[in-house]
Amino acid sequence: MAPGIEANHPIAWAQGPATAPAGQRPPNIILIMADDLGINDISLTGAGVAGVKTPNIDAIGQQGVSFTNGYAGNATCAPSRAALMTGRYATRFGYEFTPTDPNVPKWFPIGLFRVDHMFARNIAHMETGSPHKPIFDEAAARNAAPPGGKGMPASEITIAEQLRTRGYHTIHLGKWHLGEASGMRPEEQGFDESLGFMIGGMKFLPENNPDVVNSRQDFDPIDKYLWANLPFAVQFNGGPRFAPDRYMTDYMTEQALAGIRANRNRPFFMYLAYNAPHTPLQALKADYDALPQIKDHRLRVYAAMVRALDRGVGRVMAELKAQSLDDNTIVLFSSDNGGANYIGLRDINRPYRGWKATFFEGGTKVPFMMRWPGQIAPATHYAPPISHFDVYATASAVAGAPLPTDRVIDGVDLMPFVRGTAAGVPHQTLFWRSGAYRVVRDGDWKLQSLDLPRKDLLYDLKADPTERSDVAAANPAVVTALLAKLKAHDADQMPPAWASLVRSPIALDRPLGTTPVPGEAYVYWSN
């Protein structure tokens, strides 16, 4: 057992009423979030990892609606989750960059910011054949605020706080990644109960556990950092950290089932934030052994992780049915961003270009589906663009919670659009921003405004949904109009609440760990 981590604790979820109250009650809401799941990893929205099917996740969209242009609020974990929780562009409150993980080993003598510096240097050495190197801001690092204080401000009104006003019992399970300073933890952001971890990642089992199969990516500095520093631990309501009694994905599933049973007789909101299939890549041996047809070890471990995720979703759906809650529960499923280049697998975001940490479709277009029997027709496909921040307004509307009037809420209630009772589309325009890298989608036009390399790329997503053909030169008036929209949007956003320390080059058309190609397309990402 690692220092400061206790043995497994039994969890005593707060019990709701022994019997359900008479009359109709508002629907329960379960929001299931995967971590770094590519759109091609799910068999409903792609081919599945190495052809492995995901029948339980698929069923949510098959029995409800699949949003074929569902977008993440950002292309990295924390800002995307901030948009999801608040219904707003995270840049409205300065949450522009993923905070540095505070879980730096205390024995490391040179301190957190030197660790970041080494991290950037390591990235520079990973691809010796690439002419593009990361840019580390030494001055920003020296003047940076402590990482533990970087998070979602307490002044933001979360989806959990919204639903509590309507009598919902609110539960957080899994990854938080929105800060752990005073006022930032889930228990202080509207969740009645929280079981999970505050940082951006966690091991799935101790690496020497006989039930786990590991895959290390020696070409990836992030992977090395995670293996060296991540514990295997969770907290319940801010208490001591302890080691779960099983593989993390299965543990969160098991606790979700217990939470459903405890709240079967009252309205509840459950935010089930799995950390799968984020690195470190660790699969349950039973899942790994079930996929002998996959010969590549890393791909097999990754596919086995997605298999466990799909199993967990299936068990949640089965528990709702067993508790007779199936028809009165809205279930949403998505991923915080697209698949990551740093796992070294080519196909996770196909057919789209880009990865996590880019605003190309591969980084922001995510599996996004919603099920509500009797309210959403099965096998609905909704094509107009929507965003993670629409979950906030949708959940508020079905719960009967008025939206806050003292701030801009960017999300809209999706139900009238899904039912076909609303005219128009939820969003004519969507924006993304990370430092000097800004992107706007307006109708079928998408403009990528880059500063490194300095260029404006224009794509017609109707004719070119995978962003292969830049048509900026042929459409200068469109570029000018979209740049004006970006400028107007920026004027309504806050400056970043903390500085970016590192700007990293991301090759668009190949993953990390593969050979650089002369003249390849790339973008610089700020973090």
Task: Give the distance from CA 198 to its chain's centroid.
Answer: 14
pLDDT bucket at 114, cuts 50 / 70 / 90 = very low
Is pLDDT at 292 greater than 70 in this prediction? yes
pLDDT value at 468 more than 70: yes
pLDDT of residue 127: 56
> Cα(328)–Cα(331) distance, rounded to whole angstroms?
10
Reference 439, options 490, 475, 509; nearest CA is 490
User: Which ranges in 127-220 belong to alpha helices (H)?
Assistant: 138-142, 159-164
364 contacts: CB under 8 Å, gap ≥ 6? 71, 72, 74, 75, 337, 338, 432
296 has a pLDDT exceeding 70: yes
Residue 222: CA count within 13 A, CB half-sphere:
18
**Range 6-35 average pLDDT:** 95
Domain ranges of the chain: 31-435+496-526
Q: Give the span between the Cα atoms of 32 and 61, in whole angstroms.
A: 13
Q: How far is CA 328 from CA 26, 241, 370, 420, in A?
A: 8, 35, 13, 21
Q: How confident is the model at residue 141 (pLDDT cuts 50, 70, 90)?
A: confident
> Of the given ranges (147-156, 238-247, 500-509), which has the lowest mean pLDDT?
147-156
Task: Please give the CATH architecture assigned to the domain spanning 31-435+496-526.
Answer: 3-Layer(aba) Sandwich (3.40)
Residues 251/244, Cβ–Cβ less than 8 Å: yes
Rounded mean pLDDT of 175-199? 96
> Is 110 or 120 the better-scoring residue by pLDDT?
120
123: pLDDT strictly greater than 50:
no
203-233: per-residue pLDDT in tens?
999 999 999 999 999 999 889 989 999 999 9
141-168: burial string, b at 16+ Cβ within 10 Å, e else: beebeebbebbbbeebbbbbbbbbebeb
Distance separating alpha carbons of residues 27 and 326, to the nearest angstrom:
10
With 0-12 / 13-18 / 19 or more C-beta atoms within 10 angstroms meaning exposed / middle / buried, residue 206 is: middle
At 112, list the tokens: 């957190």
For the sheet with 28-34, list strands across it. 235-236, 193-197, 169-175, 268-273, 28-34, 329-335, 368-371, 65-67, 380-382
Q: Give the 3-state secondary structure of 352-402.
A: CCCCCCCCCHHHHECCEEEECCCCCCCCEEECCCEECCHHHHHHHHHHCCC
List the structure tokens of 18.
């022994």
**Span 351-365, mean pLDDT?**
99
Name the H helices within 219-284.
221-229, 248-262
Task: Give the least confident one: 85-94, 303-312, 368-377, 497-506.
Answer: 497-506
C-beta of residue 277 within 8 angstroms of C-beta of residue 41 = yes
pLDDT number for residue 110: 32
**What is the residue-averaged pLDDT of the chain?**
93
Among 324-333, 390-399, 452-461, 498-507, whose mean pLDDT is lowest?
498-507
What local confidence, expressed as pLDDT, does residue 238 receive? 96
pLDDT of residue 139: 82
Least confident of 19-28, 335-344, 390-399: 19-28
The pLDDT confidence band at residue 147, using thresholds 50, 70 and 90, is low
**Helix, strand or coil, per DSSP, at residue 205:** coil
Residues 472 and 456 sit within 8 Å (Cβ to Cβ): yes
Q: Is residue 426 a contact partner of residue 386, using CB atoms and an 8 Å limit? A: yes
- The DSSP secondary structure of 330-359, one letter per residue, reads EEEEEESS---GGG--SSTTTTS---TTS-
Distance CA 83, CA 273 (A): 15
Backbone angles phi, psi at 354, to 5 degrees: 90, 175
CB of 471 within 8 A of CB of 391? no
What confidence score (pLDDT) does residue 133 get? 85
- pLDDT on residue 90: 99
Query: Is the predicted pLDDT of residue 103 greater than 50, yes or no?
Result: no
Higher pLDDT, 378 or 117: 378
Q: Are 120 and 136 in contact (CB under 8 A)?
A: yes
23-68 pLDDT, tens digit per residue, is: 889 999 999 999 999 999 999 999 999 999 999 999 999 999 999 9
pTM for this predicted structure: 0.96
pLDDT at 497 over 70: yes
Q: Coil, strand, or helix at residue 525?
A: strand
